[in-house]
Amino acid sequence: MADTEPGHMSAEEFRAHGHTLIDWIADLLHDVEQRPIQAPVEPGEVRAKIPPTIPEHGEPFEALLTDLDDIVMPGITTWQHPGWFAYFPTGAAPPSVLAELVSAALGSQGMLWSTGPAVTEVETAMMDWLVDLLGLPSTWRMDTGPGGGVLQMSASDSTHTALVVARHLATRDGGSTDDVVAYVSSQAHSSIEKGAAVAGYRHLRLIDVDDTFAMRPSALADAIADDVAEGLVPTFVCSAVGTTATTAVDPVRAIGELARTHGLWHHVDAAYAGAAMVCPEFRHHQDGLDLVDSYTFNPHKWLLVNFDCSAFFVADRRPLLDTLSILPPYLRNAATESGLVVDYRDWHVPLGRRFRALKLWWVLRSYGRTGLQIHIRRHVAWAHELEERVRAHDRLALVAPTPFALVCFRHVDGDAATRQVAAAINARGDMLVTPSEIDGAAFVRVSVGATPTERRHVEALWRVIDAAA
């Protein structure tokens, strides 16, 4: 019956259409540099080409492919363009894309160990690999320590989870949720502010930064003291290792010591910069991880894995499981009751989960430790070359250090001139930067790290900057 059901695609039809799409993607990989980097559409233009309701009868697959070219592609902003220097990169290395295909085809659910043993155990193995690969504390390995890791969708989800666990610990003995306080630097990512609001924190303190845009521990200490004096409950502090605006690095150890002294949950947001930790020479930026309760890092940014793939680690998994474990009858099973398995459903808000660890495994094995280090070091080297050129240019000025591969600069003539430089770059269609501002002043934000970017693309960018400046 299934093979004659309207709309049903047989295995042989899948084979034919699948081969067509693999060729379509391979051609895209070849030609991606020729695509416009920003989608050349106006608001509503894509939508206007889609009928208002579902068709009455199924359509042949060829119609979907036609519309992929005619409707979808003009509306795609080309994040995988080698001239992508905007935001942070989002990974899409080919082994990752192929793993996502396999994961979708398997359609296996990893909510419990028993519903997907390989989904669970490959994930646990990969999280342990990351502990070693990034130089995290070995007690965060599931196979040896009290800690452990899990994949979540995004750093926003990971950070929100950490905020919830911290709130749970601070209120479980009767304290009021109204009194919990979270602390982040004034440069922290909006996900912390949003996550705190979502988790019910009414008090969020944005802590002052120094001239490298790193949190000032003395300002944090003062804020904690003020809140204690007010009768509030300091609960959560986030150290950023690589802020979004400028990749500034907060002093993890000093913040960790304050957190320990005052009983706060200490979370590290290394969403972007965690990837750099595959190279030992960057790990001094995360010194103090022995004083950290949770850590988030996105392989889907600069470590070549396609979105979504955010790694979340806890130094001790018990508070996390205490906060999130609920076991209804229909999820009971012998494996769970044996205590021998991990049920990742208890590690985050969602219940269902797909096989995301496969793409992490395939990327890590395709590159190996050495290949990943070369990948990171090239981007950092090219960013430093760009930084040196900016430093040497008499019309440009750096606005922040470049600890990783993000270069932030402005035009010495001020905001209008700075915005003109960004506009000149972005008007070309073959490269994209993010115009931003900090402390009320405009700057140009250049993130080197897209999967297909080569040195020549960074050099081409410099020629445009130089000409526009």
Give residues 420-439 in contact with its own copies (rule: CB under 8 A).
434, 436-438
The strand ranges marked E within 174-269 are 180-185, 203-207, 233-240, 265-269
Give the DSSP H/E element, type plus range, for residue 23. Answer: helix 11-31
Binding flags for its own copies, 173-212, as an x/- string (CB under 8 A): ---xxx----------xxx-xxx-xxxx-x----------
- Least distance to its own copies, CB of residue 52, Å: 7
- Least distance to its own copies, CB of residue 95, Å: 6
Q: How many Å apart are CA 245 and CA 44, to the nearest integer?
A: 30
- Residues within window 232-251 making contact with its own copies, judged by CB under 8 A: 244-245
Q: What is the total count of residues that contact its own copies (CB under 8 A)?
A: 166
- Least distance to its own copies, CB of residue 449, Å: 12
Site for its own copies contains 64 (CB under 8 A) = yes
- Least distance to its own copies, CB of residue 382, Å: 9
Q: If we measure between CA atoms, which residue out of 442, 461, 447, 437 comes closest to residue 402?
A: 447
Q: If we measure between CA atoms, which residue out of 442, 358, 452, 362 comes closest to residue 396?
A: 442
Q: Counting every residue, how long is the chain?
A: 469
Toward its own copies, which CB reaches closer, 217 or 355?
355
Interacting residue with its own copies among 181, 275, 364, 431 (CB under 8 A): 364
- Least distance to its own copies, CB of residue 469, Å: 22
- Least distance to its own copies, CB of residue 282, Å: 17
Site for its own copies contains 71 (CB under 8 A) = yes
Q: If we measure between CA atoms, which residue out of 243, 320, 257, 313 comes closest to residue 287?
A: 257
Site for its own copies contains 459 (CB under 8 A) = no
- List CB contacts of 20: < 8 A, sequence separation 6 or more: 65
Check: CB of residue 91 under 8 Å from CB of residue 299: yes
Toward its own copies, which CB reaches closer, 160 or 411?
160
- List CB contacts of 206: < 8 A, sequence separation 6 or more: 184, 185, 186, 188
Q: What angle do CA 372, 376, 382 make, to 5 degrees?
A: 145
Interacting residue with its own copies among 69, 132, 226, 413 (CB under 8 A): 132
In b/e form, how buried is each residue of 443-457, taking b as 16+ CB within 10 angstroms?
bbbbbbbbbbbeeeb
Looking at 205-213, 224-232, 261-269, 361-369, which segment touches its own copies (CB under 8 A)?
361-369
Strand order in the sheet with 148-152: 148-152, 310-314, 294-297, 265-269, 233-240, 180-185, 203-207
Q: What angle do CA 272, 362, 112 make, to 5 degrees?
A: 85
- Least distance to its own copies, CB of residue 252, Å: 22
Q: If we measure between CA atoms, which residue out of 317, 321, 324 comes closest to residue 349?
A: 324
- Least distance to its own copies, CB of residue 392, Å: 24
Binding flags for its own copies, 292-331, as an x/- string (CB under 8 A): --------x-----xxx--------------xx-xxxxxx
Toward its own copies, which CB reaches closer, 328 or 392?
328
Looking at 223-231, 261-269, 312-320, 367-375, which segment touches its own copies (CB under 8 A)?
367-375
- Least distance to its own copies, CB of residue 273, Å: 16
Interacting residue with its own copies among 338, 392, 394, 416 (CB under 8 A): 338
